[in-house]
Amino acid sequence: MKSEQFRLLWHPTPTQTLRSRAPLRVTAWIERGTYLLSQAFVQPKFMWRPAREMKLDSNRPTLVTETPERIDLLDIARIQDAPNIDRRQFPFVKKCHCFLIETQTEIYLFEAQSIQDKKRIVFGLKLTVSRLASLIMIRDTKAVEEFFEPVSVPGEAPNFAVGS
């Protein structure tokens, strides 16, 4: 799970300004954390960005320059099958393929390509988050080996990581 990418449909939650947002095909992965020489660290994250699609009229892939969406692994409170889906908010969802990732402040709805993929991804994410949390709680150095880059890097944490 930590070394693979997978394709999902992300169904963004409607907001006050955007009442309905179209589902977006994304590539998702687990990003390893990084220790900084300033004794700070950037936490491991579940990340996703729009999937790259080949242009039909050329042989070159389109470049995705957007900053990926992200959730710190330790911010994830719950990963589960989507129990009830409001069809007014998410009219295109295949409920049997969907799962939720909940944090303290947000709920993210993803759709896998099949029921088997959903089960594999949900189980893998649960194991990954629980393993990281348990290794950190018992202060096991395996957490550093498994979830962080092997070398420290100079510098300060980037702006997006400071608020996380």
Distances (CA, A) of 95 to 10, 23, 82, 85, 113: 13, 14, 7, 7, 12
pLDDT for res 114: 96
pLDDT tier for residue 14 given thresholds of 50, 70 and 90: confident
Q: Find which of 38-42, 52-56, 122-126, 155-159 is predicted with most confidence, using mean pLDDT.
A: 122-126
- What is the value of pTM for the model shown? 0.81
- Contact residues for 134 (Cβ-Cβ < 8 A; gap 6+): none
With 0-12 / 13-18 / 19 or more C-beta atoms within 10 angstroms meaning exposed / middle / buried, residue 47 is middle
Q: Is the pLDDT confidence value at 19 over 60?
A: yes
| Range in 54-63, 103-112, 147-156 with the lowest mean pLDDT | 54-63
